[in-house]
Amino acid sequence: MAGETTDAPTADEYEEQSLLELFDPRGFGWPTRFGLFGLLLLAILPLLRGYGVAVPGLGIVRVNSLLLGNFTGALFFAIFAMSWDVVSGYTGEISFGHGLFFGVGGFTSAILNADFGLGLMMSIPLGMVAAAIAGLLIGVPSLRLQGPYFSLITLVTPIIVLGLFKFAPELTGGATGKFTGTLSVDPAMNYAYAFLLFVFTLGLFLAITRSDAGIVLTAIREDELAVEAAGLNPAKFKLFAFILSGSVGGLAGAMYVHTYLGGIATPSDLLALVISIEVIIAAILGGIGTIVGAAVAGLVLFLFRIYIANINATVPVLGVDIAEIYFFLFLAATFLFLFYIPEGMVPRILRAVRSREESADDGTGGSGGDGGEEQEVAADGAGPGWTEGGSTTLERIVAKFTRELRELTGGGDDR
């Protein structure tokens, strides 16, 4: 969906094109065509219920209500991963407690529906508003704090909220959770809700991050002082990103409760620290600062986690069921993946496609070129991406975080 702009029309050429020409799939690059094909497959998945589908490596997979339910959860998790990427992947401010937005949206909607009798059409939007307010409260410190201090706040906040649940079990349901209503008892309908929100969120985040606002967010990540020197206010843009991220994450959390979770909101499903960790992993594996990468990896990781947890086998030597240590295996597979593809899945695929297209155009058969210029592959189509031999977006964010941590602890003083 991004990074395919080798022959992209200019703004003037766009104006000269008719609407039909603008949306002609033949004019799209291969990444966009592949992405649209993937969305088409997701759109028709409920229509395949009762049929078997051939999946490479898995054989014939029957599409049934259980599979649709798992994909429903995966779509909401992908939305959540995108909401993390839009704030941390673009501004470089790492949030370690993003599950807070998921939990605030989910529990607010559940409590309003179960205890105050509000319909889901009212409680779900109010859950989104509550999460947006949480995003505002978390984002305000970013006006004064950044780097490790800010990350510490995002890490501690959901832990504090979890503690509050223990003091008000009559309101929150305590550890057993809150029982509330569902949007539909039909898995296909719940899947449709999740898919529509997924498509809307993907389009919204792509539009914002490819706009001037996205360019400013990327510039904040690379050099915040340079943004200030240009006369822009980085705090305003970071606050906007947090409120946007919180509202979308809260909406996903509210709908997650009333669809995938079957109307049961529990702290372990919404506010556990492991959720925030998985979201970060998804965005990193997909390609941090790309939105599309977070969406793809969010889908894959959620389903991969379910697959591992349901393997009925034991680990040799250890004699432990795989299901009991699935999270450890999940992390091991993640580290292995990062070792070989540090820039993430989507940037790697875009780089390969770009290299093949350019080789076909100039017949040089390689990506080195003859002018000694490096072929920079835009990871997100909107800003600097990954260059062969250069640092990835993740490495630059980690380096910035480490440098700020050293400054705080005095480790950067060589005297």
Sequence-distant (≥ 6) Cβ neighbours of residue 359 within 8 angstroms: 365, 366, 367
Sequence-distant (≥ 6) Cβ neighbours of residue 122 within 8 angstroms: 112
Mean pLDDT, residues 172-200 taken together:
89
CA-closest candidate to residue 1, choices 25, 27, 35, 24? 35
pLDDT band at 167 (very low <50, low <70, confident <90, very high): confident
* Residue 15 CB-density burial (10 A; 0-12 exposed, 13-18 middle, 19+ buried): exposed
Q: Pull the structure tokens for residue 23.
A: 């949306």
pLDDT tens-digit readout, 89-115: 888 888 888 888 988 999 999 999 999
Phi-psi region of 342 (alpha: psi -120 to 50; beta: other; left: phi over 0): alpha
Mean pLDDT, residues 168-182 taken together:
81
Mean pLDDT, residues 139-162 taken together:
74
pLDDT at 2: 43
Give yes or no for a contact between 295 and 80, defined as CB atoms under 8 angstroms apart: no
What is the helix (H) or strand (E) element at residue 52, kind and residue range? strand 52-55
**Beta-carbon neighbour count of residue 383 at 10 Å?**
19
Where would I find the beta strands (DSSP E) of 310-370? 314-315, 320-321
β-bridge mates for residue 74, sequence order:
none
Residue type (1 letter), 379: A
Q: For residue 63, give the DSSP letter.
A: -
Q: Decide if pLDDT at 196 tops 90.
A: yes
CA-closest candidate to residue 286, choices 307, 303, 304, 301? 301
pLDDT tens-digit readout, 226-245: 888 888 888 888 889 889 99
Residue type (1 letter), 60: I
pLDDT tens-digit readout, 288-341: 888 999 999 999 989 988 888 787 777 777 777 777 777 777 778 777 877 788
pLDDT band at 381 (very low <50, low <70, confident <90, very high): very low
pLDDT band at 268 (very low <50, low <70, confident <90, very high): confident
Burial readout 180-199 (b: 16 or more C-beta within 10 A, e: otherwise): bebbeeebebbbbbbbebbe
Rounded CA gap, 309 and 110, in Å?
Answer: 27
Q: For residue 371, give the DSSP letter.
A: S
- How far apart, in Å, are the Cα atoms of 167 and each of 176, 323, 325? 14, 32, 31
pLDDT band at 24 (very low <50, low <70, confident <90, very high): low
Rounded CA gap, 143 and 109, in Å?
Answer: 29
- Please state, rounded to an integer, the average pLDDT across all residues of the chain: 80
pLDDT band at 146 (very low <50, low <70, confident <90, very high): low
Q: Decide if pLDDT at 42 tops 90.
A: yes
Mean pLDDT, residues 55-78 taken together:
89
CA-closest candidate to residue 311, choices 58, 66, 68, 71? 58
Give yes or no for a contact between 277 and 102, defined as CB atoms under 8 angstroms apart: no
Phi-psi region of 117 (alpha: psi -120 to 50; beta: other; left: phi over 0): left
pLDDT band at 156 (very low <50, low <70, confident <90, very high): confident
Q: Pull the structure tokens for residue 303.
A: 């389903």
* DSSP assignment of 102-117: HHHHHHHHHHHHHHH-
Rounded CA gap, 289 and 41, in Å?
Answer: 25
Return phi, psi of residue 146, to 5°: -155, 170
Q: Which of the two residues, 383 and 164, has the higher pLDDT score?
A: 164
CA-closest candidate to residue 357, choices 22, 17, 28? 28
pTM of the model: 0.81
Q: Decide if pLDDT at 372 tops 70.
A: no
Q: Which of the two residues, 283 and 151, has the higher pLDDT score?
A: 283
pLDDT at 323: 73
Rounded CA gap, 37 and 170, in Å?
Answer: 47
pLDDT at 162: 76
pLDDT at 17: 58
Map residue 301 onto helix, strand or coil. Answer: helix
